[in-house]
Structure 1
Amino acid sequence: MPDEPAENVSGGADGGGADARFAAGDPETRAEAVVDALGDVYWRKAYGGRDAFPCLVRTILSQNTSDVASQPAFDALLDRYGRDGDLAASLAAADRGTLASTIESAGLYNRKSRVIVDCAEEVLADFGGADAFDDFVREGDPTEVRERLLDVRGVGPKTADCVLLFAGGRGGVFPVDTHVHRIARRMGLAPPDADHDAVREALEDAVPAEKCGFGHTAMIQFGREHCSARKPACLDGLEACPLADLCDRIGVDPDSGAVVDPADDFD
C-alpha cells in the first residue's frame, strides 16, 4: 500500500488517525467500490484524535486555497498565538490586523482573521475554552455539534464536517469540498445537479461509516492527481485513469476533449 503523502488535506502521516483495513468482500454500492479502489491506489486511514479548536482554525485557513499555502499560515499562527495557554483565549484577544498579517500566505487573510477571532470568542463564551470545546466535539451528539459549528459566521458544511471527522473521529462523515463535489457527480455517484449537501448525503448513504473519512481524503488526492476540473486523466485515454471502469464520465467527452460541469450535461 502506498505511503500517505506529506502534503494532503489530512495533514499527511503526522496529521493523526490510524492505519485501517477495509473489510473483505464485495462492495454493496458503486460508491463503496470507488472508495475500495481508491484504497488500492492510496493509503487507508481512519481519522480522529486532533484537538478540535486547532482543527477548526486549520480548516478555516484551508478554505479556497491549497495545503501548500495554508499550512505555513497555520504554523505561523501557532508560533505566535499557541505557545502559551489556551489557543482560543489567545486568538480571541488577538489584534485582527496582526493576525491577518500572520496568516497572509493562506489568502483571504482579512476575512479569515475575522472568522477565526469570531470562532475563538464563541468558544470562550459558550464553552469556557478550547478543552471544553474539544470534549463537546468528541462526545456531543454529531447533529448538534454540526449545527452549532454552522451557527458560527464563516463556518460552512465542509469545515464543520472536517472538524467532526478529524477531531471528533466520527464515522459516517464524508466532507464535501470542490474535488469531492465534482468527482461524485462526474462519476455518477450523486445526481449531476446535486449541491454539496446532496452529494454528502448520497455518499454517506452509500459508503460504510468506517470508510467515509478515508474516502474524503483519498478522493481529494485523486482529484488533484487524476480527475482535475479542466483536464481529467481520461482525456489521455481510459487507461490513464485507475478508476475509469467505475466512472460514468458525466460532462466529459474523451473523443472531443470537452469537459463541462456535470449539471450542464444533464438532460
Structure 2
Amino acid sequence: MNDDAEERADEPSRNISGGPDGGGEAVTAVDDGEPASRAEAVVDELGEMYWQKAYGGREGFECLVRTILSQNTSDKASQPAHNSLMSRYGSPASGAGEEGGDETDLAESLAAAAQDELAETISSAGLYNQKSETIIRLAGRVVEGYGGADGFDEFVKSGDPGDVRETLLEMKGVGPKTADCVLLFSGGRNGVFPVDTHVHRIARRMGLAPADADHEQVRRAIDAAVPGEKCGFGHTAMIQFGREYCTAREPACLDGPEACPLVEYCDQVGVDELSGEVVDPAEVVDS
C-alpha cells in the first residue's frame, strides 16, 4: 500500500486495538533500568504516552476474520463490517441459551455461507469480494483441520508460537501481519510485534530498521531489540503515534523539533525539515 492509500481522510483518530474498545489489560510498566536499545527506549516512551497493555484472550478464528477485514482499510471501515458479520453469522443458533440449544460455531457458519451474501455483509470493509472468498476458504480449512472455531482457538492459544505462525502463513490470504495479530490478540504471545504500514514507515524513518527494509525485516529488527513483554503495546502505541504525529506525508517534525515528542530518538530518514520534502525512507537509499 502506498502512503496516499494509507492516509485516507477516513482514517480514525484512535487506534481501537490500543484504545478502550481494543481489549487487553493494563499492566504495570516493567522497571528494568535503562533500555538496552533505542527501539526499546522508543517503545517505553510510547507506553508512557498512550497505554501499556497485555493482550490476548480474543477468540482465535474471530480474530483471524477481524484481521482479514482490516486489510487495506481503516478501523472506521472494517469495524462495522465485523459487527455485521458477527450479527449475521456468529449469533447463537435458534434455541441457544435454552435447554438443548447449541451455540453457533463461527467457522462452520462461515464455511457454509453464500459468497455473495457474505460479500454484501462486509461491503463496508472494501475489497469485499476478495475478502469474502478468503474468509469462506479459511473457515472451511479451520472446520476441516480443527473441527471448528473452538479447536482452532485452542491451537492458537496453546500451540508452539512458531508452529502456529508457520501454519497461519501457509493459509492462502494470511500474511505476516495477519498471523502476528492472531498470535498477539488471541494467543497473547510475548515477542510478537505486528508490522503494519505505520510501524513499517516509523521504524525505517526513525532508523530502528534499515531504510529499505521490507515488513519482515522490520519485524525482525524490532523483535531483536525490544523485550517480548513490551512488543504488544509497542505495536498498538506505535500505530497511534503514526496517526497523531508521524504521518506519511506531514510528520510533526516539519513544524520543528519541539513538535514531536520522540525527535531525540529519530534519524528523520526521508524527511527534510528545510525543504519540507518527505519521501519514503527507501528512496533515500535508492538515490
For 1:151-190, what aligned pairs fall within 5 Å after superposition?
151-190=170-209
Change (3 A) 1:161 1:232: same
For 1:174-213, what aligned pairs fall within 5 Å after superposition?
174-213=193-232
Amino acid paired to 2:48: D
Structure 2 distance, partners of 1:47, 1:123, is 23
SS state of the match for residue 50, structure 1? coil
Change (3 A) 1:135 1:6: farther
1:16 positional shift? 2.2
Superposition misfits of 4+ residues, deviation over 4 angstroms: none
Matched residue, 2:45: 37
Deviations 1:14-49 (A, max 9, x none): 432110122222111000000011112101111111
Matched, 1:138 2:157: yes
Deviations 1:45-90 (A, max 9, x none): 1111111000000000000000010000000000000012100000
Matched residue, 1:78: 86
Could you tell me whether the CA contact under 8 Å between 2:254 and 2:276 is conserved in 1? yes
Matched residue, 1:253: 272
For 1:101-120, what aligned pairs fall within 5 Å after superposition?
101-120=120-139
Matched residue, 1:232: 251
Give 1 or 2 for the bigger CA radius of gyration: 2
The partner residue of 1:17 within 2, 24, 38 is: 24
What is the TM-score of this pair, normalised by structure 2? 0.89
Amino acid paired to 1:164: L
1:215 positional shift? 0.6
- The runs of 5 or more residues in structure 2 that have no matched partner are 1-11, 93-103
1:190 positional shift? 0.3
What is the TM-score of this pair, normalised by structure 1? 0.96
Structure 2 distance, partners of 1:11, 1:43, is 7
Could you tell me whether the CA contact under 8 Å between 1:6 and 1:12 is conserved in 2? no
Could you tell me whether the CA contact under 8 Å between 2:13 and 2:243 is conserved in 1? no
- The runs of 5 or more residues in structure 1 that have no matched partner are none
Deviations 1:209-234 (A, max 9, x none): 00000010010111011001111010
Q: Percent identity?
A: 68
Q: Root-mean-square deviation (CA), in Å?
A: 1.3
Could you tell me whether the CA contact under 8 Å between 1:251 and 1:265 is conserved in 2? yes
1:121 positional shift? 0.3
Structure 2 distance, partners of 1:246, 1:200, is 18
Matched residue, 2:97: none
Matched residue, 1:68: 76
Structure 1 distance, partners of 2:219, 2:71, is 18
1:11 positional shift? 6.4
1:9 positional shift? 4.5
Could you tell me whether the CA contact under 8 Å between 2:257 and 2:263 is conserved in 1? yes
Deviations 1:125-165 (A, max 9, x none): 00001001000000101111011111111110000000000
Structure 2 distance, partners of 1:240, 1:190, is 23
1:263 positional shift? 1.2
Structure 2 distance, partners of 1:137, 1:120, is 15
